[in-house]
Amino acid sequence: MKKTLRLDKDELEILRDFERGEFESVKNFREEKHKLEEAAHNSLQKDKRINIRISSRDLESIQKKAAKEGIPYQTLISSTLHRFVTGKLKNV
């Protein structure tokens, strides 16, 4: 039995663009990859430590959400703060 691949809207758009030949190979791929990896490392490096006080209930909720996501709760907190300061955190 063959599985059907389900793609979201963005993935379908990328697939259509690829099939139309709208992607080009990157010249000097290894060099470009190295530059991008270095930029990501430099911009995402965690070099400061903070201590905060939050309620036990909030911490327990955060830990449960992190467990569902399969990530450490500190990573969830850091990621959420990063999305907030970059304007990518959306209100529900």
pLDDT one-digit tens code per residue, 41-80: 877 778 889 999 999 999 999 999 999 999 999 999 998 9
**This prediction's pTM:** 0.53
Is position 38 within any domain? no
Domain tally, the chain: 1
Residue 17, in any domain of the structure: no
Q: Where would I find the beta strands (DSSP E) of the chain? A: none
In a domain, 60, yes or no: yes
Helix axes 73-85, 56-69, angle to 10 degrees: 100
Q: How far apart are CA 69 and CA 71, in angstroms?
A: 6
In a domain, 4, yes or no: no
- Residue 41, domain member (yes or no): no
Measured CA to CA, the distance from residue 78 to residue 34 in angstroms comes to: 25
The first and second tokens of residue 86, run together, are 């970059």
Structure confidence by residue, pLDDT tens digits, 16-27: 999 999 988 888
Is residue 80 in a domain? yes
The domain in which residue 65 lies consists of: 52-92
Look at 46 and 35; give whichever has higher pLDDT: 35
Q: Count, in order, helices (H) and strands (E) of the chain.
A: 4, 0
Query: Residue 32: inside a domain, yes or no?
Result: no
Model confidence band, residue 1 (pLDDT cutoffs 50, 70, 90): low
